[in-house]
Chains A and B, each alone.
Chain A
Amino acid sequence: MSPAPSVASKLYADDVSLLMVLVDTNPFFWGTAAANSSSLSFSSFLSHVLAFLNSIHLVNQLNHVVVIATGFNSCQCVYDSSETTNRISDDGLPAVYLKLLHNLEEFVNNDEKMCKNDFQTGLTSSLLSGSLSMALCYIQRVFRSGPLHPQPRILCIQGSPDGPEQYVAIMNSIFSAQRSMVPIDSCVIGAQHSAFLQQASYITGGVYLKPQHLDGLFQYLSMVLSFNDMTLILHEMQAFLFLCLAVWALTSTCSQMQTVFATDLHSRSVLQLPKPVGVDFRASCFCHKNTIDMGYICSVCLSIFCEHHKKCSTCGSVFGQPQADASKADRKRKAPGSPRHPRA
């Protein structure tokens, strides 16, 4: 599988972006984060997100931002910059952000209420497949709006672990994003890497980032500073200066996100972005929804199983029936666990 062709190659309305921000509001993740003093609290995380949204509007007033909350039990669109008029005001928190915070709070409360009797299930993932699907539908609507539309991209800010039960739905979303040339950027703020988001960013040509700590921040800072290409157009220069300021101003993990994800697609092709750490291509088995790096594939429908079964539960094929006229050697080769491919 090769990554998507350069996203910059598709022509869009020049440097106006449509940014779909998917924010993980999973109460289980933020609950454990609150218990751990070294990690970010939900409220300070939100203030970084707001500062980030503000920077997107400062880079270009025409930029269009939509925020979708990824919850544990539900997903909801909580903010759409096109629905509000006076977006930027320079004192304190603009009214639109108060509305965003209000919507978000309401959503988080409802979402939490729905999981009161779920503490035993052991599930801790959030519904990323739902918010990704919603974001893609929204982007299609912008595509339909006419030939000149902003350049869409998706940013997933994810803290919860992957939900293996969402594997097929997430892969479907990734392929649809790839076909529409929509890059999926990922910023993982949880303890573990996300195999889903690594694959999403790799396949769609987006950026995958898991910020380390302050030392990581300085790496990104110096990377941005080493960027002294004289072909910069004025607009990019402004964006660049703003980003440097933003990085200096906010010395927390989340401010890196602004440097990397606020750059528009054109700057990205010039700017040296963090190299991927590699891509975790593990899949989920259909039988137990375990994440596996080795498994059994049904030769008829390609379903993945983590252990040997007599019958495929997806397509109903029965495995390992000896063929009437198969030679002894043939049958031996077919023995489970030791398939051989030809090497003539």
Chain B
Amino acid sequence: MNNSKGKRSNGDEHEDEDDEEEDEANGGGLEAWERAYADERSWESLQEDESGLLRPIDNKATYHAQYRRRIRSTPSTARIQKGLIRYLYIVVDLSRAASEMDFKPSRMAVVAKNVEAFIREFFDQNPLSQLGLVFVKDGVAQCLTELGGSPDSHIKALMGKLECSGEASLQNALELVYGYLKQVPSYGHREVLILYSALSTCDPGDIMETIQQCKKSKIRCSVVGLSAEIFICKHLCQETGGLYSIALDESHLKELLLEHAPPPPAIAEFAIASLIKMGFPQRAAEGVVSICSCHKEPKVGGGYTCPRCKARVCELPTECCVCGLTLVSSPHLARSYHHLFPITLFSEVSPSYSSKQQQRIPKNCFGCQQSLLNPGNKPGLFVACPKCSQFFCLDCDIYIHESLHNCPGCESLRHSKPVIDAEE
């Protein structure tokens, strides 16, 4: 099956390219900027009706043209999102400098709020990745949460311990994080994201050695500063391939943080592809009492059962504490699958074509059952799936490609696959 899937997606790319060429031919001679205007010269579509009044512009066609431009401008390679597995420590500087109030109400409060948003976004975009939190204050680094996959437990821990005092120590933070990250599996990407408020660092030894150590272990270190640029942070990021940026205000801080949520493209090269054994536990019925293996406490309802050893765990993703199997929720993985199997672009069917072959064309959209005829029984603009040859209205075209990611026509045909293979 896999082979045929692969073949099919190759086929898709061919069709895409063909479409692209066709497009070039249509817009032939026009510069890119001219084409943009050509699509939006809405005044030309103004029409008068019988009594001389202007008819409302058909926004639908314009909107659809914009959508098609958008979908074509995404190169087919970008449609495959790399689901890299990342292991990230967030280091939050809670030294005295974090109590400054140039950010309202204070740097610390603003950082906490935005780190929370970042954590949620991170897990949304990196389903199998793990994250941990480290605080720096009073010249020492302390681990707040270990690497884990549950956004809620990190956020709870973060919000519970917000006090700042003393000096910051970049070296202590890096040493602590290095100790944890060197143990992660080799398919994982090791990253550190530091939110640094202080203008100095109070280190016990030679920080340059620590930086080299991180570089050797392929730990990518990035810093988002809240005050001015400092040399040692810049050096750290340069050496380890990370990003160094300074936040000007709160919205800028948020933007800089969220830049770190999608997997960085550069480190994709570091990736050692690996097959990881995982289990998809069954969720227990509500109201069932059992003892969980993670907290060793009786729990009512919910919970998941390890498919290998049948131990009960409270939340996913996690590692079974009895047999060590990595346990994940399969829908969590499945959310990204539409990137792997994108559906073919539908081709536009022009009214002239359809009037010639009207017998063959059904009156209704295959998806929403809406009539494909304009008022007055004139055929409107619509699209057809090149694989199953079903017709769709423009609204369904957009919905199918941007949200549903299935072609209802192809999914409603048991034999669509062999037929395609025969055509190729």
Q: Give chain A's interface residues, CB within 8 Å of chain B.
A: 1, 72-77, 80, 114-115, 118, 123, 127, 129-131, 133-134, 136-138, 140-141, 144, 165-169, 171-176, 179-180, 199, 202-203, 275-283, 286-289, 292-305, 308-309, 312-315, 317-321, 323, 326, 330-331, 333-334, 336-344
Provide the residues of chain A in CB contact with B331, threshold 8 Å. 1, 171, 174-175, 199, 203, 281
- Which 7 A-B residue pairs are closest in the complex by CB-CB distance? A137-B367, A130-B412, A317-B273, A141-B368, A130-B411, A133-B408, A293-B307
A138 → chain B, closest Cβ, in Å? 5
Report B113-150 CB contacts with A as 1/0, cut-off 8 Å.
00000000000000110101000000000010011000
**Interface membership of B261, Cβ < 8 A:** no
CA distance A282 to B329 in the complex (A): 9
Query: Is B395 a contact partner of A141 (Cβ separation < 8 A)?
Result: yes
Q: Specify which of A288, A302, A309, A344 is in contact with B333 (CB 8 Å cutoff).
A: A302
Seed contacts A138-B367, A315-B340; 15 additional CB < 8 Å A-B pairs: A74-B412, A127-B414, A172-B404, A281-B280, A281-B330, A296-B277, A299-B83, A299-B84, A299-B274, A299-B276, A300-B82, A305-B275, A339-B274, A341-B130, A344-B132
Report if A169-B277 is in contact (Cβ < 8 Å); known contacts: A74-B412, A131-B412, A174-B331: no
Given A173-B406, A300-B83, the answer on whether A321 and B368 have CB atoms closer than 8 Å is no
B61 → A minimal CB distance (Å): 15
B148-192 interface bits toward A, Cβ cutoff 8 Å, 1 = contact, 0 = none: 000000000000000000000000000000011101111110000
CB distance from A260 to the nearest CB of B (A): 16
Q: Is the CB of A179 within 8 A of B275?
A: no
In the complex, are the beta carbons of A319 and B180 less than 8 A apart? Answer: no
Complex Cα distance, B334 from A288, in Å, reads 17
| Interface check B42, CB cutoff 8 A | no
Q: Report the separation of the CA atoms of residues A5 and B68 in the bound assembly, to the nearest whole angstrom.
A: 33
Where chain B touches its partner, the secondary structure class is loop
B146, B181, B283, B325: the one contacting A279 at CB < 8 Å is B283
**Is B400 in the interface zone, CB < 8 Å from A?**
yes
In whole Å, how far is A127's beta carbon from the nearest beta carbon of chain B?
6
Inter-chain contact total with CB atoms closer than 8 Å: 270
B358 within 8 A of A: no
List, in ascending order, chain A residues with CB within 8 A of B332's CB. 1
B74 located at the interface, meaning its Cβ lies under 8 Å from any Cβ of chain A in the complex = no
Residues of A within 8 A of B14 (CB): none
Q: Given A176-B403, A275-B285, A299-B85, do A294 and B180 touch, yes or no (CB 8 Å)?
A: no
Closest chain-A Cβ to B396's Cβ sits at a distance in Å of: 5
Contacts of B337 in A (CB 8 A): 168, 171-172, 302
Most buried by A among B143, B287, B340, B370: B340
| Smallest CB separation, B363 vs chain A (Å) | 12
**B5 near A342: Cβ-Cβ < 8 Å:** no
Cβ contact within 8 Å between B283 and A314: no
Q: Select the residue from B2, B132, B337, B406 with max chain A CB neighbours within 10 A.
A: B406
Contact in complex: A286, B5 (CB < 8 Å)? yes
B338 near A: Cβ within 8 Å?
yes
B273: chain A residues within 8 A (beta carbon): 298-300, 312, 317-319, 321
- A313 to B6, Cβ gap below 8 A? yes
Whether B336 lies near A302 (C-beta < 8 A) is yes
Least Cβ–Cβ distance between A304 and chain B, in angstroms: 7
Contact present for A179 and B403 (CB under 8 Å): yes
Total interface residues in chain B, CB < 8 Å: 86
B80 within 8 A of A: yes
Contact of B319 among A137, A303, A343 (CB under 8 A): A343
Residues of A within 8 A of B225 (CB): none
CB of B87 within 8 Å of the partner chain: yes
Instruction: Please report the C-alpha to C-alpha distance between residue A304 and residue B328 in the assembled complex, in whole angstroms.
Output: 12
A342 touches B83 (CB 8 A): no
A344 and B180 contact, Cβ closer than 8 Å, known pairs A80-B369, A314-B340: yes
In angstroms, Cα B368 to Cα A171, docked, is 20
Q: Compute how far the CA of A333 lies from the CA of B340 in the bound complex, rounded to whole angstroms.
A: 28
CB of B10 to closest CB in A, whole Å: 12
The reply to whether B395 and A140 contact each other, CB–CB distance below 8 Å, is: yes
Give complex CA distance A115, B325 in Å: 42
Interfacial chain A residues near B25, Cβ < 8 Å: none
- Decide yes or no: A289 and B185 within 8 Å by CB, A129-B411, A275-B286, A317-B273 being known contacts: no
Contact status of A296 and B408, CB under 8 A, knowing A283-B280, A323-B186, A341-B319: no
Contact flag A297-B280 (CB < 8 Å), given A137-B367, A175-B335, A334-B186: no
CA distance A199 to B255 in the complex (A): 35
Which one of A276, A288, A312, A340 lies within 8 Å of B1 (CB-CB)?
A288
For A171, list chain B residues within 8 Å (CB): 331, 334-335, 337
Residues of B contacting A174 with CB < 8 Å? 331
Closest to B268 in A: A300
Given the interface pairs A294-B307, A300-B271, A315-B340, the reply to whether A342 lies near B183 with Cβ below 8 Å is: yes
- Which of these, B143, B185, B282, B414, contacts A333 with CB under 8 Å? B185
Is B282 a contact of A293 with CB atoms below 8 Å? yes
Q: Report A-chain residues with C-beta under 8 Å of the C-beta of B285.
A: 275-278
Q: Which residue of B has the minimal Cβ distance to A280?
A: B282
| CB pair A72 B414 closer than 8 Å | yes
Query: 7 A-B residue contacts at CB 8 Å?
Result: A129-B411, A171-B331, A282-B282, A286-B5, A297-B128, A302-B128, A315-B82
- Residues of chain A within 8 A (CB-CB) of B127 are 302
Q: State whether A301 touches B80 (Cβ < 8 A).
A: yes
Inter-subunit contact A134/B279 (CB<8 Å):
no
Binary interface profile of B, 273-315, with partner A (CB < 8 Å = 1, else 0)? 1111111111111110000000000000000100110000000
